[in-house]
Amino acid sequence: MPDSAVTAAADRPYAGVELGGTKCVCTLAFGPNAILDQRTVPTTRPEETLPAILAILREWDGQSGFAALGIASFGPVQLHPASPDYGHILATPKPGWSGADIVGMLAGRFAVPAAFDTDVNGAALAEMRWGCGQGMRDFAYVTVGTGIGVGLVVHGAPTRGIGHSEIGHIRLPRLAGDDFSSICPYHTDCVEGLASGPALGARLRGRALADVGPDDPVWIPVVDALAVMAHALVCGTGPMRIAMGGGVLAGQPHLLPRINAALIDSLNGYMNLPQPGPFVVQPKLGGQAGPLGSIALAAEAATGA
């Protein structure tokens, strides 16, 4: 939906909160071209971070007000409205955050429609509304950073089922000779365990990223793992496009073309990708994909679409 249509649908802006592992970004906006205010709160303990966010929302509420509130959170989170722990963070290694009641603490305080989803589902919806997924109803947003998160939208809605997408934890066949020890505490050979930022860091065995060129062999298993995951996405729900970002991809521009080539090799002619390519692209909203994810969630809550 273009900005003008969003603006017409609401005379008040939307408020959004993106809860991240190191920082939370609060945004007051109509869309990417009309960000009225944006403030960052460090992610420390929930008793400290959530009241600081609430204070910002209360300030906005007392000024312009907002039409709806969107909350996009790091996961795992409980998304089933009927569940007693709806809106809570589930088991996380982040100290103090397991069981934190995000929706109760933030959304319950304002008499406006609210929506809650994962950070990557929000980013996927933002890219579909304003970025590289416009006009698509089936789309995936991948971030390769501290973890590997995937926002998977099927027919206009993020997947639910028994939980949100965790396709970063699919297991994959190891490349011959790759005996790297996975950094995922749950899986010895999942994509996140073998190809996330921390996995890359461990694979470098003390070498600095600045000393590692595109021809270095360290990229071979990383490209392979991300192409295997893209293959699973294509065969699983058939997104029309995959946006792939995060610190690792942003810092290594040579990876995307290699992932595209490896994906085409991997599909081996069985499925045809939409033309013209490339199929796996960088997120158009860049660093604002996450914060605008919370605004996209708010817009959905306000308009029901």
Residue with tokens 């206009």: 156
Task: Report angle CA 5, 139, 268 to the nearest 5 degrees.
Answer: 150
Pick one of Zn ion, ligand ADP, none as the site partner of residue 21 (Cβ within 5 to 8 A by kind). Answer: ligand ADP
For position 183 contacting ligand ADP by CB under 6 A, the verdict is: no
For position 143 contacting ligand ADP by CB under 6 A, the verdict is: yes
Q: Which stretch binds ligand ADP (CB under 6 A): 34-42, 46-54, 143-151, 235-243?
A: 143-151
For position 21 contacting ligand ADP by CB under 6 A, the verdict is: yes
Strand partners, 72: 18, 117
For position 190 contacting Zn ion by CB under 5 A, the verdict is: yes
Show the site string, 117-156: x = touches Zn ion by CB under 5 A, - = not: ----------------------------------------
Q: Which of 187, 236, 247, 303 binds Zn ion (CB under 5 A)?
A: 187
Minimum Å gap between C-beta 95 and ligand ADP is 16
Q: Which of 5, 209, 235, 261 binds ligand ADP (CB under 6 A)?
A: 209
Q: Which stretch binds ligand ADP (CB under 6 A): 8-16, 29-37, 51-59, 196-204?
A: 196-204
For position 76 contacting ligand ADP by CB under 6 A, the verdict is: no
Residue, CB closest to ligand ADP: 197
For position 29 contacting ligand ADP by CB under 6 A, the verdict is: no
- Residue type for position 140: A
Q: Which stretch binds Zn ion (CB under 5 A): 61-69, 191-199, 204-212, 289-297?
A: 191-199
Q: What is the 3-state secondary structure (H, E, C) of the chain?
A: CCHHHHHHHCCCCEEEEEECCCEEEEEEEEECCEEEEEEEEECCCHHHHHHHHHHHHHHHHHCCCCCCEEEEECCCECCCCCCCCCCEECCCCCCCCCCCEHHHHHHHHCCCCEEEEEHHHHHHHHHHHHCCCCCCCCEEEEEECCCEEEEEEECCEECCCCCCCCHHHCECCCCCCCCCCCCCCCCCCEHHHHHCHHHHHHHCCCCCHHHCCCCCCCHHHHHHHHHHHHHHHHHHHCCCCEEEECHHHHHCCCHHHHHHHHHHHHHCCCCCCCCCCCCEECCCCHHHHHHHHHHHHHHHHHHCC
Minimum Å gap between C-beta 232 and Zn ion is 14
Q: Would you say the C-alpha torsion 226, 297, 277, 154 has a positive or negative sign?
A: positive
For position 261 contacting ligand ADP by CB under 6 A, the verdict is: no
Q: Which of 41, 68, 153, 248 binds ligand ADP (CB under 6 A)?
A: 248
Pick one of ligand ADP, Zn ion, none as the site partner of residue 76 (Cβ within 5 to 8 A by kind). Answer: none
For position 197 contacting ligand ADP by CB under 6 A, the verdict is: yes
Interface contacts to Zn ion, rule CB under 5 A:
169, 184, 186-187, 190, 192-193
Interface contacts to ligand ADP, rule CB under 6 A:
20-21, 143, 145-146, 197-198, 200-201, 209, 246-248, 251-252
